[in-house]
Structure 1
């Protein structure tokens, strides 16, 4: 069908392994088997395959909408970065891209774009010789505009996804206003065919011009539009402003306002003269319409000026009266797009896919609660119980126990506690293990520094490339964000990681100093019994006073109870760790989720929804909390008793002649052992920190590499577009006029009533359309 309107070309995509990605994620992350969903997996591939090569029929529209509705449901079932979706831009002179993003949101926007585009195709295929074709064309253009408006609205809400230039706000708003302009133009065409009075036709035409003006402003802010499109929109804007003034001049004649008639026609003539250079870039259909309008306005103006000068002699206003626009378009409801869950329940889009598969949000929420449970166990049970034991060790160390007692009780034998410590130091690797761990920490720290330096180098290189292109193309044309702005989040993350690394290195220094202070003592502890015996001074055997012997016996009993407390706590920690690992909250989350589905139409899946479930679940650790409280009470009582006995022991022992040298050495060895245990824990945490830290750095580098790659593709496309524009400008500046290429697919209109001949004053008919009532087709 011949037409002088524009359609929006489809964005292009290619086939992807969508079903395979779903199968893989179910196998790895879900507590279900992918074989149970094979039919749904195949259907997903079919749905997406159906929207790759589109026609322009209602069937193609149904395929797009069906895929969109199911895509929204899939987004709630699977992680957002499940699969990479590739899309190509088509607004410029050549196909650009692809831009590949792991984002369901990006996929949805592209499908919405193609739905809007398909509506413009369907609008242009209508037969605008009759009312039915005009009605459908007007309606389809409005649906296109509504879908483009929805893309803008969704993009403003979702800021985490960086869209390509041809999907950003200014570009999409250009397409929205273009669709509105063409919807208004089609209705204007119907109004002229229905012989609506001139004043209303003028208002309709002025709104067409206003829409084209907004289209032009958005296009100039955006990137990638062809010269033919810009010229087409520019000419259309002027065309309908001139038409509006021409029709207003006819209305002025009907009111015997011949001076206003001349003013309107002069305004129309000026508007037409202002866009004449753009005609060489528009299609033949648009050019012929414009030239026909130019001719009749020129002839009518000469006649009007002559009649007014010779007959009517009215003053001609310098500026004609303002023509108030009459907008008949509106934002149409998109129920199945805005409420896809409800649309899916109707059955019109096929059965719901993966109905029995747990939403990925449930898996994530369950995992988050498991992490909270683990954190709870650590904070409220493991850490406090370990702190109690550490406090007990410090309490005994400050009193030189049990060394002081064993020095008196067994002056020639090695203390049992010392032999236990010797065996443990040997078993855990002693000095060799600590040295190896410290070397590993140092190496991992240097790896972290290299990774951060590599991240900075990548950003620096990208900034240099961007600056070089900015200098080459000029800041006026190179309008994308500078690297410093675009990469600001990466720079901040690097700075944060550098601060973490500096703090960690300070901690490493403290650990090394602690190790150096006890290294020689650890060598002794890890040696043979004979070597330890030679290292420790002996005490002379002596006859103990019965009162001192009783105190020693009581102290040994209390120290035995202290060791028993440690054993109980070690066993407790093992049991709690197993309990925390096996006690899974997922079944309870799933039960609550199913109950919520039965009670509510729309279930909002977030952590707060399941807080009561977690509250009940965590109460199962109440018995463990009770054990912790009993341990605190027992330790306090035991420490009081040991403190009293220790004071008596020291007093009596000093009266009978104590061996301070032996006690001092044993105390140092006890200190070395306790420090060794602390160091093992510290280096273990240090190794974990650096492994996690370097993993974060590597993840950051991957993100930066993707960012740099995307910026390079963007820069390549921008540079190609700018170079093409420059070449086109050189070609178009040639004195020979060429027929425009058929890049914008615009054709000849079907005898639209562009204008009406100048008529004598006539009364308007009753019962005609009122612009305030909107569009109403009977």
Structure 2
């Protein structure tokens, strides 16, 4: 068994009785007896128990993998048939020095990702269990490492898909996030590539130039693994040091092999240069030997001795015999790595299990889901068609009366000393709802959310600006002719437009916030009166002298008071009506109708591919919603009643105003103005509360959608960076090919000089390059 490579430790799970958990879900949400599925529930319980018993202390076997795949297949079935958050699964993170957790999440996807992780971990252990002394063992080990990389690649893909879904609010633990999974992918590929390298050096026929390319690619895989390891909080120091040593080791091995190629080509200066680079790389590796396995350090020291001896000899020979210029590292012909590995995703992950394998007779949760969705539609329908129209009518009549100074004008006449009951009720309502404090708190929440939204937009813009800056730098470095990809403005045009619209929305929202703040400060003084209760109101409202009204105005006031009473009765009836609607809506559940339809026409509800067709349910919903047609007619009736009362009030109030002006005195006018100010402040208070609630909803929605845009910007930046890297590699490769072609053409036109002494004829006590002992 190999001891100089790493395997991924298996995760640990907190045991649960999966069958019992699902039993409770079936009882509470599916309206079916769980006893009908006793065998399925027991099978899941046993299988889940068996996979939690797989541990790092046990020997990795294909039997364990078979169990995990069977459970993974069944998980897909229950994921499709049960609510996504039915059960909480808890797992420990085991990559770090000591287990972290348990971390619980109510998500079948979380369980699936951890099972994939377990499969990847076992394949990494199987890879280490193969013999590295036989070609067959190296071949199997390489394949297992690539399969392990494929598992972690699948985790990365699935997590990215879930995170990109705007309706998803799942935040997976760090060992399932990109920085960690990318590290594991690159580490597994590095170790797979290392087995290819091992096979190559075991073969005496493999050219040193090929081994150099294999070594460099191995080093590059370790370099990528190291980069992501440093970004992750879950890769321990021992692994980081191990990966660092491996990165430098194979970089040194690549240059050591290139030095042999240079020697064979009589390029003595290049030979010395490659050996110096190899020596420096080994010295760097030795700085990180702490906590690294002794087998890894022994391999490194073996290479170190060879490179040190060979460098000393080559420098001496070049100084005394060949006198060739030793080029700088940047002037050397680059070593082009050659990758022989890639992540392998097993077909088993893509197999679609039969839905009849488990819970065959369970009512599909899609029925429950549609019932919930239609219930929400029913609630929205009642809100849009009934509740909001009623509220709008109440708002209209309130505003209508306030514009006519009612009931303040007649209260001032009829109650020259007492505080009107309506004002007292307003005071109680404002105090109970929070008064000034609730507005101030809401304004603070608005300011906080607004700041978050602006920061979110700024972060989006930063991603675009970073790409613009990086693209411009690379464009200047490589030249416009070679840097032939679209600029940021063109590539990110859709995102730039989105960010512009986001800024516009926030500017409009800020203007709206300012208007609300100004309205609040306009009525703040009157609200303080309300908050003071009876004593404060009594002090604020001046008394007036009693005025004996003549017969005409007394009749008008009586008529007005009667009309206002009718308005009050109208509003009271509406509140009772809305309460009855809530009861009716609650008592009329659409789910039984959907279940009946499913049982009657089960086959017709699915298409040829087995996908559910909701069209039949739409017809049932349309018929169901007709239950509320009688209530819709009430809206028209109460609207007509209100319009009739408004007309009568308007006419009567005009007569009152005409008579009233002849009877009013200064004290009465002051009392009326005070009462009117209180009525107006009450109306504006309710409007401000409503506007602030709408503002909170706007900012919360903005943050939710803004995070999606931020993710898009981050993905765009990542994609562009990958493009940049690939394009730079392509440009460098083309440049190298061009240089090689020029060198070949130049060599064809020059006579090569023969060295005075052949390097192979030198007698030396140093290590012979043709020896069977190979460390690099």
TM over 0.5: yes
Conserved 8 A contact 1:262-1:304: yes
Say which of 616, 627, 636 aligns to 1:629.
636
Conserved 8 A contact 1:11-1:89: yes
> How far 1:205 sits from its partner (Å)?
1.3
Matched residue, 2:336: 324
Does residue 228 of the first structure (1) align with residue 238 of the second (2)? Answer: yes
Does residue 213 of the first structure (1) align with residue 223 of the second (2)? Answer: yes
Give per-residue Cα distances to partners, 1:295-339, cap 9 Å, x unaligned.
Answer: 44445455655666777x3725424432110011123235544x4
Secondary structure at the counterpart of residue 51 of structure 1? helix
CA separation in 2, counterparts of 1:187 and 1:98? Answer: 38
Does residue 174 of the first structure (1) align with residue 183 of the second (2)? Answer: yes
CA separation in 1, counterparts of 2:365 and 2:177? Answer: 34
CA separation in 2, counterparts of 1:505 and 1:17? Answer: 56
Say which of 113, 131, 136 aligns to 2:135.
131
Does residue 366 of the first structure (1) align with residue 374 of the second (2)? Answer: yes
Conserved 8 A contact 2:427-2:531: no
CA separation in 1, counterparts of 2:144 and 2:155? Answer: 17
Between structure 1 and structure 2, the one with the greater Rg is: 1
Matched residue, 2:8: 8
Matched residue, 1:333: 345
> How far 1:358 sits from its partner (Å)?
4.3
Give per-residue Cα distances to partners, 1:15-37, cap 9 Å, x unaligned.
Answer: 13544444444444454454444
Matched residue, 1:532: none
Q: Flag structure 1 segments of 5+ consecutive residues without an equivalent.
A: 404-424, 457-495, 521-534, 541-547, 655-659, 662-667, 694-754, 761-778
Cα separation, partners in 2 of 1:536 and 1:139, compared to 1, 3 Å:
farther
> How far 1:287 sits from its partner (Å)?
3.0
Give per-residue Cα distances to partners, 1:129-148, cap 9 Å, x unaligned.
Answer: 33332222111111222222
Give per-residue Cα distances to partners, 1:143-202, cap 9 Å, x unaligned.
Answer: 222222333344445554445555543333222211110010112222333445322222
Matched residue, 1:87: 91
Q: How does 1:131-150 map to 2 (within 5 A)?
A: 131-150=135-154
CA separation in 1, counterparts of 2:81 and 2:390? Answer: 36
Matched residue, 2:458: none
Matched residue, 1:51: 51
CA separation in 2, counterparts of 1:609 and 1:506? Answer: 55
CA separation in 1, counterparts of 2:150 and 2:563? Answer: 82
Q: Relative contact order (C-alpha < 8 Å, sep 6+): which is higher?
A: 1
Secondary structure at the counterpart of residue 92 of structure 2? strand
Matched residue, 1:241: 251
**Length-normalised TM-score, structure 2:** 0.58
Matched residue, 1:111: 115
Secondary structure at the counterpart of residue 6 of structure 2? coil
Q: How does 1:625-664 map to 2 (within 5 A)?
A: 625-629=632-636, 632-633=639-640, 636=643
CA separation in 2, counterparts of 1:650 and 1:243? Answer: 104
CA separation in 2, counterparts of 1:382 and 1:48? Answer: 54
Secondary structure at the counterpart of residue 86 of structure 1? strand
Secondary structure at the counterpart of residue 275 of structure 1? helix
Secondary structure at the counterpart of residue 87 of structure 1? strand
Q: How does 1:391-430 map to 2 (within 5 A)?
A: none
Secondary structure at the counterpart of residue 259 of structure 2? helix
Cα separation, partners in 2 of 1:316 and 1:602, compared to 1, 3 Å:
farther
Conserved 8 A contact 2:174-2:180: yes
CA separation in 2, counterparts of 1:346 and 1:244? Answer: 56
Cα separation, partners in 2 of 1:87 and 1:218, compared to 1, 3 Å:
same
Cα separation, partners in 2 of 1:28 and 1:176, compared to 1, 3 Å:
same
Conserved 8 A contact 1:207-1:326: yes
Conserved 8 A contact 1:250-1:758: no
Q: How does 1:287-366 map to 2 (within 5 A)?
A: 287-301=297-311, 313=322, 315=324, 317-318=326-327, 319=329, 320-337=332-349, 339=350, 342-343=352-353, 356-358=364-366, 361-362=369-370, 364-366=372-374
Say which of 566, 584, 589 aligns to 1:584.
589
Aligned length: 602
Does residue 189 of the first structure (1) align with residue 198 of the second (2)? Answer: yes
Conserved 8 A contact 1:361-1:605: no
Q: Over aligned residue pairs, what C-alpha RMSD do you find?
A: 6.5
Q: Flag structure 2 segments of 5+ consecutive residues without an equivalent.
A: 164-168, 412-419, 449-509, 536-545, 665-670, 697-766
Cα separation, partners in 2 of 1:152 and 1:316, compared to 1, 3 Å:
farther
> How far 1:121 sits from its partner (Å)?
0.7
**Length-normalised TM-score, structure 1:** 0.58
CA separation in 2, counterparts of 1:604 and 1:343? Answer: 17
> How far 1:62 sits from its partner (Å)?
2.5
Conserved 8 A contact 1:336-1:343: no
> How far 1:589 sits from its partner (Å)?
6.7
CA separation in 1, counterparts of 2:633 and 2:244? Answer: 80
Secondary structure at the counterpart of residue 88 of structure 1? strand
